[in-house]
């Protein structure tokens, strides 16, 4: 049987953690033949550490055959030791009266520390997925704080936006969500993201032609996908956790095991593709193979799309500027 791999998860006692860990341990992320060791990080706070103990008891009680070990940590340098995968879920949420700059600064503090810890102790091939918001900028901060690791190993989660877009298109067209191909979401994981179905197909047929309604695209589809997180908070009284955990599983599984030639959306540092400045962590269409992702290049960007991309890029550059002095 395969040698166990190490999977670090931060914010492990939180909502997303609770929806995520059991699926990683059951083999849904890295395959039903891949044993895993979970290295779980929570803040030192007694309540959080106790909650983490409870989650670990439940993990034990699932008796997952693939779960080769579980560790609880409060220090990132211990949690990230030799880790092959790091899912950075824990982040500082926006508190009452907190300004955007305060939020960025609080998260910059967390993600510089965690980036440095990864730089120091993680596997040199560690695959990092940042889920905690602001996800793209947190990934950017961690990447900048880990100069000895390949920048391309730092990614942010746009997959929930991608999956939300797919579900809206399935509902609109009456087709099966699993048949939608070549969909993507450009930019920031925020309401400015640009979900783009111009290249999407269902059983070889163009989704754009099928829908043929630019007003629906601009006035219904994009706002619905962009504000889906807020709609779920309004309905549930809590933020989306199970769907976020599901997207994290999808992102890591496809990165590790390959997308079989299909497009998926990942937030990844640009190398200048589509005029996005190098280093900015941006949602792009990618294909994945042998543990590597490749940005899909050469797509035509029309005037409407360019405008959308410019807007989400401007927001990301604003965030990068907002943390520059902290890096
Ligand atoms: P939560 O508040 O239930 O859990 C977060 C956990 O992280 C808490 O247990 C907290 O103690 C822990 N934590 C905070 N700072 C930490 C640190 N420095 N090290 C280790 N652990 C730390 O929140 P939830 O619902 O699990 O969401 C987590 C994050 O994911 C939030 O930032 C949320 O905005 C984000 N999110 C991102 C999505 C995306 O698509 N990229 C989608 C949904 C949520």
204 is in an annotated binding site: no
What whole-number distance in Å separates Cα of residue 286 and Cα of residue 133? 22
Instruction: For 201-251, give the DSSP string.
Output: EETTEEHHHHH--HHHIIIIIHHHHHTHHHHHHHHHSS---HHHHHHHHHH
The per-residue pLDDT for 32 is: 97
The per-residue pLDDT for 86 is: 99
pTM > 0.95: yes or no: yes
At 324, give phi and psi (nearest 5°).
Answer: -55, -45
The per-residue pLDDT for 290 is: 97
End-to-end CA distance of the chain: 43
**Residue 40: enclosing H or E segment and its boundaries?**
strand 36-41
Torsion of CA 109, 112, 21, 125, to 10 degrees: 180
Degrees (nearest 5) of the Cα angle 178, 154, 263? 25
Q: What is the pLDDT of residues 66-101, one digit of tens each?
A: 999 999 999 999 999 999 999 999 998 887 888 878
The per-residue pLDDT for 100 is: 78
The per-residue pLDDT for 58 is: 98
Low-confidence ranges of the chain (pLDDT < 50): none
- Tokens of residue 247, six digits: 């997207």
What whole-number distance in Å separates Cα of residue 44 and Cα of residue 56? 16
- Tokens of residue 76, six digits: 């990132």
For residue 63, the CA-to-ligand 1 centroid distance in Å is: 26
What whole-number distance in Å separates Cα of residue 6 and Cα of residue 69? 9
114 is in an annotated binding site: yes
Any residues with Cβ below 6 Å from ligand 1, and which? 10-11, 13-17, 41-43, 48, 89-93, 110, 131-133, 135, 157, 160, 189, 239-241, 244
13 is in an annotated binding site: yes
């Amino acid at each position: 049987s395969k040698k166990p791999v190490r999977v670090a998860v931060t914010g492990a006692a939180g909502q997303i953690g609770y929806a995520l860990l059991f699926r990683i341990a059951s083999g849904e992320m890295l395959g039903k033949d891949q044993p895993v060791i979970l290295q779980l990080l929570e803040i030192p706070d007694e309540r959080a550490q106790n909650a983490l103990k409870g989650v670990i008891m439940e993990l034990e009680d699932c008796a997952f055959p693939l779960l080769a070990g579980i560790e609880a940590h409060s220090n990132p340098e211990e949690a990230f030791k030799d880790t092959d995968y790091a899912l950075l879920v824990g982040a500082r949420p926006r508190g009452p009266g907190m300004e955007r700059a305060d939020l960025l600064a609080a998260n910059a503090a967390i993600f510089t520390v965690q980036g440095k810890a990864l730089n120091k102790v993680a596997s040199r091939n560690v695959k990092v997925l940042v889920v905690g918001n602001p996800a793209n900028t947190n990934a950017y901060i961690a990447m900048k704080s880990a100069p000895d690791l390949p920048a391309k190993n730092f990614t942010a989660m746009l997959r929930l936006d991608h999956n939300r877009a797919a579900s809206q298109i399935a509902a609109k067209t009456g087709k099966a969500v699993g048949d939608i191909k070549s969909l993507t979401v450009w930019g920031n994981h925020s309401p400015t993201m640009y979900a783009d179905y111009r290249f999407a197909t269902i059983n070889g047929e163009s989704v754009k032609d099928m829908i043929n309604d630019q007003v629906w695209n601009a006035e219904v589809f994009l706002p619905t996908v962009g504000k889906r997180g807020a709609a779920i908070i309004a309905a549930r009284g809590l933020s989306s956790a199970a769907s976020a955990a599901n997207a994290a599983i999808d992102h890591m599984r496809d990165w590790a095991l390959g997308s079989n030639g299909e497009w998926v959306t990942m937030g990844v540092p640009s190398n200048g593709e589509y005029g996005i400045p190098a280093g900015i962590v941006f949602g792009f269409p990618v294909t994945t193979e042998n543990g590597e992702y490749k940005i899909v290049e050469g797509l035509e960007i029309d005037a409407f799309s360019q405008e959308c991309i410019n807007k989400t890029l401007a927001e990301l550059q604003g965030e990068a500027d907002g943390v520059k002095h902290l890096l």
